[in-house]
Copies of this chain bind each other. A is one copy, B any other.
Amino acid sequence: MASEKQPAIILGIDPGTCVTGYGIIRVESSVLRALDYGCIRPPAHLKLSDRYLIIFESIEELLEKYQPSALVVESQYMSNNANVRNVKSTLKLGMACGISILAAKRKKIPVFEYAPAKAKRAVVGNGAASKHQVRGMVQQLLQLPEPPHPEDASDALSLAICHAHACSSNHIEI
């Protein structure tokens, strides 16, 4: 994927019911470049099920447009994760994550996951780095004119970068 010869396109997704961040990078000869990033924000007044459909269809559009070779999500399996506050929000997060994975699998795109600390370590070199530090390093690694905004998009880009770095042995397809 991150070989010296064959360029690869990686889609990172930071799923959420309110905001789903995405970041698409191109890897060629060890050079990383951001193709696109941003977030999917289904209107908050919609029913949860309608919001899931919007997230799913938006990810399908990204897959169609950029034809990535991998989709990468965060493994949020740590009970002390700040995003996992209670059973209700954990279930909702799981739902958003599940439909992101499904969008890729329906197109036969492999799915990978990394723990938040691993993604931070890949980008900043420190698994306990702050969001601010991550944004700064994502900007630097991708040579962006400014730190990626919003935070969810920065997190998604950091997952894609993590996968680009992890191509040797330690990536896990889920």
Measured between beta carbons, the chain B residues less than 8 angstroms from A81 are 87
How often does this chain occur in the complex, in copies? Answer: 2
**Residue in B closest to A84 when the chains form the complex, CB atoms:** B87
A 141-174 binary contact with B (CB < 8 Å = 1; else 0): 0000000000000000000000000000000011
Nearest-Cβ distance from residue A102 to partner chain B, whole angstroms: 5
Q: Is the CB of B105 within 8 A of A173?
A: no
Q: Is A45 an interface residue (CB 8 A)?
A: no
Q: Is the CB of A87 within 8 A of B96?
A: no
Measured between beta carbons, the chain B residues less than 8 angstroms from A99 are 98-99, 102
Measured between beta carbons, the chain B residues less than 8 angstroms from A92 are 94
Q: Is A128 an interface residue (CB 8 A)?
A: no
A93 to B90, CA, bound (A): 10
Q: Is the CB of A49 within 8 A of B94?
A: no
Measured between beta carbons, the chain B residues less than 8 angstroms from A84 are 87, 91
**Residue in B closest to A104 when the chains form the complex, CB atoms:** B49
Q: Is the CB of B174 within 8 A of A105?
A: no
A86 to B81, CA, bound (A): 13
Nearest-Cβ distance from residue A106 to partner chain B, whole angstroms: 7
Q: Is the CB of B94 within 8 A of A47?
A: no
Q: Is the CB of B174 within 8 A of A49?
A: yes
A 71-102 binary contact with B (CB < 8 Å = 1; else 0): 00000111101001011101111111111011
A77 to B85, CA, bound (A): 13
Q: Which residues of A contact B (CB under 8 A)?
A: 47-50, 52-53, 56, 76-79, 81, 84, 86-88, 90-99, 101-102, 104-106, 111, 173-174
